[in-house]
Structure 1
Amino acid sequence: MVSAHTNNEGSQESATITPAGMYTISTITVGCKIYIRRPTPDGEEERLAEILSIRDKPVNPYTLASAQRTDSRGGVKEEEDAPDKPEDKKEYFVHWDQFNKRLDEWVTGSRLILSRDLEWPRPKLPPGKKAGPGSLQKAPGKAPRSQNLLKKATINAAAAASPTSASTPGRSAFPSPSPAPSLKRKLTDDEEEEEEEEELEGDDVDAEGEMDVDGEGDTFELNVNGAQVETPPPVSSFSKEQEIEKLRTSGSMTQSISEIARVKNLNRLQIGKHEVEAWYFSPYPKEYAHLPVLYICEFCLAYFPSPMMLSRHRQRCTLFHPPGNEIYRHQDISVFELDGKRQLSWCRNLSLLSKCFLDHKTLYYDVTPFMYYVMCQRDSTGCHIIGYFSKEKESAENYNVACILTLPQHQRHGFGKLLIEFSYELSKKEGKLGSPEKPLSDLGLLGYRAYWAEVIVELLINTTDELSIDDIAQKTSITHADIMNTCTTLQLFKHYKGQHIICLSEAVLEKHEKVRNKRRRRIYADNLIWKPPVFTRDQLRFY
Structure 2
Amino acid sequence: MASVQSQRKKKGRLNSTYKSLGGPSNPSPTPEVEKKAEKEDRTLSRNIDEVVFADHSFKTWYPSWYPKEILGEKALALAEEGKGTGIVVKTLYICRKCFKYSMDGVEWKTHQDLCEKNNDPPGQEIYVKNRGKGEEAGEGRWTVWEVDGAVDKLFCQNLSLFAKLFLDNKSVFFDVEAFKYFLYVHTNLESGDKQIIGFFSKEKMSWDNNNLACILIFPPWQKKGLGSNLIGISYSIARRERIMGGPEKPISDLGRKSYKRYWGAVIGRWLLNNFEEENKNYSKKKGMPTINVSIISKETWIHADDVQYMLREMNFVKLIGKGPACEMDINGVEEWLAKNKVSIAQVVDEDGFLPGYAEKKTSEEREPN
- Where structure 2 has 5 or more consecutive residues not aligned to the other structure, the ranges are 1-36, 72-87, 130-134, 136-140, 279-290, 361-369
Residue of structure 2 aligned with 1:339, choices 141, 148, 151: 148
Whole-angstrom distance in 2 between the partners of 1:520 and 1:423: 17
1:453-472 equivalent positions in 2, closer than 5 A:
453-463=264-274, 464-466=276-278, 468-472=292-296
Whole-angstrom distance in 1 between the partners of 2:342 and 2:167: 31
1:373 aligns with 2:182: yes
1:328 aligns with 2:127: yes
The 8 Å contact of residues 314 and 336 in structure 2, kept in 1 or not, is answered as no
Whole-angstrom distance in 2 between the partners of 1:350 and 1:494: 42
Whole-angstrom distance in 1 between the partners of 2:345 and 2:270: 18
Counterpart residue identity of residue 313, structure 1: H
1:509 aligns with 2:334: yes
1:436-475 equivalent positions in 2, closer than 5 A:
436-463=247-274, 464-466=276-278, 468-475=292-299
Whole-angstrom distance in 1 between the partners of 2:273 and 2:220: 35
Counterpart residue identity of residue 120, structure 2: H
Residue of structure 2 aligned with 1:411, choices 214, 222, 235: 222
Calculate percent identity across the aligned residue pairs. Answer: 33
The 8 Å contact of residues 292 and 324 in structure 2, kept in 1 or not, is answered as no
C-alpha distance after superposition, 1:459-478 (max 9, x if no partner): 01011421632222222111
User: Helix, strand or coil for the counterpart of 1:447?
Assistant: helix
Counterpart residue identity of residue 313, structure 2: T
1:361, distance to aligned residue in structure 2 (A): 1.4
- Partner residue in 2 for 1:526: 351
C-alpha distance after superposition, 1:363-384 (max 9, x if no partner): 3311000011110111125221
- Partner residue in 2 for 1:314: 112
The 8 Å contact of residues 269 and 344 in structure 2, kept in 1 or not, is answered as no
1:263, distance to aligned residue in structure 2 (A): 3.1
C-alpha distance after superposition, 1:71-90 (max 9, x if no partner): xxxxxxxxxxxxxxxxxxxx
1:287 aligns with 2:64: no
Whole-angstrom distance in 1 between the partners of 2:210 and 2:348: 20
- Partner residue in 1 for 2:167: 358
C-alpha distance after superposition, 1:152-185 (max 9, x if no partner): xxxxxxxxxxxxxxxxxxxxxxxxxxxxxxxxxx
1:291, distance to aligned residue in structure 2 (A): 3.1
Counterpart residue identity of residue 90, structure 2: P
- Partner residue in 1 for 2:50: 268
User: Helix, strand or coil for the counterpart of 1:294?
Assistant: strand
C-alpha distance after superposition, 1:89-122 (max 9, x if no partner): xxxxxxxxxxxxxxxxxxxxxxxxxxxxxxxxxx
Counterpart residue identity of residue 328, structure 1: Y
Counterpart residue identity of residue 94, structure 2: I
1:479-490 equivalent positions in 2, closer than 5 A:
479-490=303-314
TM-score, reference length from structure 1 = 0.48
What is the root-mean-square deviation in Å for CA atoms of aligned residues?
2.6
C-alpha distance after superposition, 1:405-437 (max 9, x if no partner): 111111100011111111111111112212100
Whole-angstrom distance in 2 between the partners of 1:521 and 1:311: 40
**Cα pair distance change 1:350/1:425, threshold 3 Å:** same
- Partner residue in 1 for 2:195: 384
Q: Whose helix fraction is larger, Structure 1's or Structure 2's?
A: 2
User: Helix, strand or coil for the counterpart of 1:298?
Assistant: coil
Whole-angstrom distance in 2 between the partners of 1:340 and 1:283: 19
The 8 Å contact of residues 424 and 476 in structure 1, kept in 2 or not, is answered as no
The 8 Å contact of residues 292 and 325 in structure 2, kept in 1 or not, is answered as no
TM-score, reference length from structure 2 = 0.70
Whole-angstrom distance in 1 between the partners of 2:47 and 2:337: 42
1:524, distance to aligned residue in structure 2 (A): 0.5
User: Helix, strand or coil for the counterpart of 1:465?
Assistant: helix
C-alpha distance after superposition, 1:469-510 (max 9, x if no partner): 2222222111111111212332313659x9944423544421
Higher mean C-alpha displacement, 516-525 vs 371-380: 516-525
The 8 Å contact of residues 268 and 344 in structure 2, kept in 1 or not, is answered as no
- Partner residue in 2 for 1:239: none
1:396 aligns with 2:195: no
Whole-angstrom distance in 2 between the partners of 1:360 and 1:320: 32
C-alpha distance after superposition, 1:265-312 (max 9, x if no partner): 111111110111111111112332333221111011111212211221
1:316, distance to aligned residue in structure 2 (A): 2.3
**Cα pair distance change 1:518/1:480, threshold 3 Å:** closer
Which of these two proteins has the greater Rg computed from alpha carbons?
A: 1
**Cα pair distance change 1:500/1:434, threshold 3 Å:** closer
The 8 Å contact of residues 372 and 391 in structure 1, kept in 2 or not, is answered as yes
How many residues get paired?
A: 279
**Cα pair distance change 1:523/1:499, threshold 3 Å:** closer
**Cα pair distance change 1:386/1:445, threshold 3 Å:** same
**Cα pair distance change 1:458/1:520, threshold 3 Å:** closer
The 8 Å contact of residues 264 and 342 in structure 2, kept in 1 or not, is answered as no
Counterpart residue identity of residue 305, structure 1: M
Counterpart residue identity of residue 97, structure 2: F
